[in-house]
Structure 1
Amino acid sequence: MMKFDIVRDRLLDGLNDVMKAVSSKAAIPILTGIKIDVTEEGLRLTGSDSDITIQSFIPAEEDGEQIIRVIEPGSIVLQAKFFNEIIRKLPTNDVVIEVTGHLQTHIRSGKSEFHLIGSDADEYPLLPQVEEDRKFSIPGDLLKSIIRETVFAVSSSESRPVLTGVNWQVAEGELICTATDSHRLARRKTSLENLAGEYTAVIPGKSLQELSKILVDGSTPVDIVLANQQVLFKSGNVLFFSRLLEGNYPDTSRLIPSEYKTNVTVNGKTLLQAIDRASLLAREDRYNIVKFSTDEGKVVEISSNSPEIGKVEEQIEAIEVDGEELKISFSAKYMMDALKAIDGQDVVIQFTGSMRPFILKSAHDDAIIQLILPVRTY
């Protein structure tokens, strides 16, 4: 038994968050549902696919305004897909939800009434237990940036599952986030005041992408708790749990070259647009390969050649070029992803020869480093 009424917009906001964890292909049938718990304090919604669990809390009252009127507390699990669609399409902003005998659930709004058959909330898995010994916080907008600057480089192949995640390493007051698919690497370093100890965790890329969607813009701190098999992110009234990936993440620090033969400083946006144009004729190819060459002076040539389609050549003026002349080929997609992560600033590209990995970083700092393996072209 349970009965309450609630402001529909607030219920929808909560549903939008928890729906991101619900999968229609859940291994445990009850996980295709959303768990609803109502107490005097308010309403908790929980969604999970067993890898990710999201819980959103809607307080009964906020800033003196009543959001939920609880008539009888209780719990129920309702089919996520139908419940979400019903709430989205109700005719008014006032919703009454009542559970009567045999898990019969009635949803009323205006002159509209729906009846859903629920499931027993006791059968829903419990939230993961997380010990709070490794805890720190990051401003939400910074966390979003860190995810955006690294998560694209995780591997999409399940042959080495640990590479489908981002390695988070805490050491010496710094958080170092690294992603690699073994053809490229993205690394972001951040100094944080409240970091203690040394530990690492590999967080699935998919979890971080979903987390990024529910983080609100702005610098509200997000609390992060790293446990043995789970990580918990707390942001406002939302709890986001993700399982961690097992296995040892490779030591990537030795992949980053320490000396360079050619350094090119160039405007990131200009280079990104030139590579985008060059890749127009290279898209048929699996790697969409673009060639990059320097010669005397500050001119860099970007070109692409597809025997059946045609070729494109473009020269761009670099800010600075020094070192040996260079011809190198690489995947346009990888290069564009890396430039987008550095986001339109002037970039320094450091090469160690045409067949060695090269790195990109902002001309202003090396908080973000992108490494790319070139492609052999004959």
Structure 2
Amino acid sequence: MKTIIATAAVLAAAGPACAGKIALEPLIDARIRYEHAEQDGLPDTADALTLRLRGGVQAGSGAWSALVEGQGTLAAVDDYFDGLRGAATRPLVADPQSIGLYRAQLRYKSKALTLTAGRQRIAIDDERFVGAVGFRDNGQTFDALRVEWTGLPRLKIDAAYAWSVRSIWGIDGRGARQQAVSGDNVFVTIGYATPIGTLAGFAYLVDQDEAAVQGFALSSQTYGARLSGSRALSRAVRLSYVLGYARQSDWHRNPNAYHADYHLADATLDIASFKVDLGYEQLGASHGAALTSFQTPLASGFKFQGWADKFLTTPPDGVRDIHAGAGHGWKKAGAFDLIAIEATWHRFDSDRLGRHYGDELDLLVTARVGRTTLGARYADYRAKRFATDTRKFWLQADWTF
């Protein structure tokens, strides 16, 4: 409510600045998804059929724009544990029913400066540290002030202060799965374009200031650097690469004292309509106690360490993920504008004590026709020394206006 009132006040104050011609743009985003999950150790399977609708309007005049967007998620078939309701004898499908305000923001955008205030999506780089959690129906937004500046050639400064994180658990969130987590979060990235790619330094200060959320143990300070770029090897072949390193330690009210490292190396080779990817990601461990390994509580976690979601919270002994993938795409295939297939294999090991956690195979088929995107995906996690065997299957359709 504080955010709604503050945003309304800012919009009212900005009225004179927006007194010129106002352009209105509707915002409509619809999704239907079926998810099936089987997990060894649980007696029942999960079946979830959810419908998600977002709707709103954006008004713009010159450099100014204002946006308001609501969101609702309905479980048409609710034979699953959503983290808040349902029987925990079934696997978790983190899409609880909800309705509420998704975004309410005011933006000023010029050639060199963008200022965004209010409830907003924030997705930084590949969303490894701060993201919108776009795969989950309710998504993640931030009550924040964000400044993006590109006033010097090849330089970009991106800084945000967020006082509340609106979680994927929706209006009924409670306990360890809060509707929102307050705190003084600061995200700063400074990037510079070099001949070999964009070199960025970053600082992420995460303040999870709710005792019910792991007793403040997810508050951390992370400092690091990232290099991302691509290079044409021939007319039909392009190499893309990402290298990253970060160091994380406890911050604010975190009761633990720890240091943990992060390493990333990833390379993708695009050969005409084919692609091949090979990568290594390490979320390091400290001394083997719970929540003293490298944690990323604000990330779009589904994008990393496999779709079975076994490593959304990094284990006490950390995780090393060696992954390899391949894919192929077809443009203008029959009635479809695009069809793509991809497969990725993961090997998971601990960072500390050298244990083999398990392996995972992920498969994806997507198709796009007009404003509609269709998808089918499958995840198969085979446990060795961490968690249990898990299989998941999804069918999904998204439509955006």
Q: Name the TM tier (shorter chain).
A: under 0.3
TM-score by length of 2: 0.20
Higher RCO by CA contacts (8 Å cutoff, separation 6 or greater): 1
The structure in which a higher percent of residues are strand is 2
TM-score by length of 1: 0.21
Q: Which has the larger radius of gyration?
A: 1
The structure in which a higher percent of residues are helix is 1
